[in-house]
Amino acid sequence: MPQLICPLCHEPLHAPAHDSEAASSGRSWQCANHHNFDVAKEGYLNLHLVQHKKSRDPGDNPDMVKARRAFLQANYYQPLRDAVADLLSPLHAESLLDIGCGEGYYTSHFRLFIDDVIGLDIAKTAIQLAAKKFKNITWLVGSGAMLPLADRSVDIASSMFSPLPVAEMARVLKPEGFVLVVTPAPTHLWTMRQGLFDEVLAHEPDKFLLGFEEQFTLYSRSEVSFPLRLPNQALKDLLLMTPYVWKAKPEKRAALELRGEFETEAAFNLMLFQKKSLNKC
């Protein structure tokens, strides 16, 4: 398993026992400076310090987390999950860090072909749900801006619709490790956005490329799209789990939520970056 580090002093954290069952029994992880972090009853570690929080409950609120779980567990986005698995499984990685993992839908699937998987999210509610449902995964409450992992300790870092802490990902990745970035493609949920906004702008996945140029090379790039036919409740869940709804006029959202069934298309941009080797010229 990749080495976890103390968010206070950055020294290695040591598990209460060598086996995962004992590690989730309510005892503490500890560093050499005797900073302790208790394992919650659900089996996760909270490594997000109060002094590093910008709000009392950062990240997605409980309603958003529950909506995302309901929508994803109905497998509306399964084609995306399968495409990501097809992209990553040939890499034969031993470890993966999923940044902004939410309630664990994609993270749990990574565990089918990667032995050591860590799911990290700043939203405590999301990690609680993930840890309750999916075992044999290390679940962490933490910030992508200060990843609680040792330098050069993980093979793959993934960020699906989450912030991209490029420098931190480069730090924790092993030499020539990979970063998976999944973002909305230009036409993602176009008709749904037409129902929410007077003017719809295409997403711009290329804007993320510049931040990776210095430390990464673009290893591969692909797009996945598929139709969605949503009953009313699934439409409401999708609206609640996206950032669009908070920018839309309330009356437009209300009108959209009255639809008995709604058809749109999901479209995603998948970019796989590889960390540049320091030995290459």
* pLDDT tens digits, one per residue of 20-71: 443 444 578 999 999 999 999 999 999 987 645 555 565 678 999 999 999 9
pLDDT value at position 23? 41
Q: Enter the tokens of residue 138.
A: 């290390």
**Alpha carbon distance 159, 110 (integer Å):** 13
* Known binding-site residue numbers for Zn(2+): 31, 35
Q: What is the mean pLDDT of residues 127-142?
A: 95
pLDDT of residue 50: 60
- Confidence at residue 24, expressed as pLDDT on a 0 to 100 scale: 44
Within 13 A of 155's CA, how many CA atoms are on the CB side?
A: 15
Give SS3 for 155: strand
* Residue 74, Cβ density class (10 Å: 0-12 exposed, 13-18 middle, ≥19 buried): middle
Most confident of 43-57, 96-110, 232-246: 96-110
In terms of phi and psi (left: phi > 0; alpha: psi -120 to 50; beta: otherwise), the region of 64 is: alpha
Rounded CA separation 256/67 (Å): 17
Q: What is the pLDDT of residue 26?
A: 52
As given in the structure block, the two tokens for residue 59 are: 């990240």
Domain boundaries, the chain: 43-275
Q: Supply the pLDDT for residue 56.
A: 58
Q: Which of the residue ranges 49-58, 157-166, 240-249 would you say has the lowest mean pLDDT?
A: 49-58
Task: Over range 162-191, report the average pLDDT.
Answer: 96
Which residues are known binding-site members for S-adenosyl-L-methionine? Answer: 77, 103-104, 188
CATH number of 43-275: 3.40.50.150
Structure tokens at 58: 């950062």
Average pLDDT over residues 114-128: 96
pTM: 0.92
Residues contributing to the annotated binding site? 31, 35, 77, 103-104, 188
Residues 149 and 5 sit within 8 Å (Cβ to Cβ): yes
CB neighbour list of residue 22: distance below 8 Å, 6 or more residues apart = 15, 16
**Segment among 73-82, 99-108, 148-157, 270-279 with least mean pLDDT:** 270-279
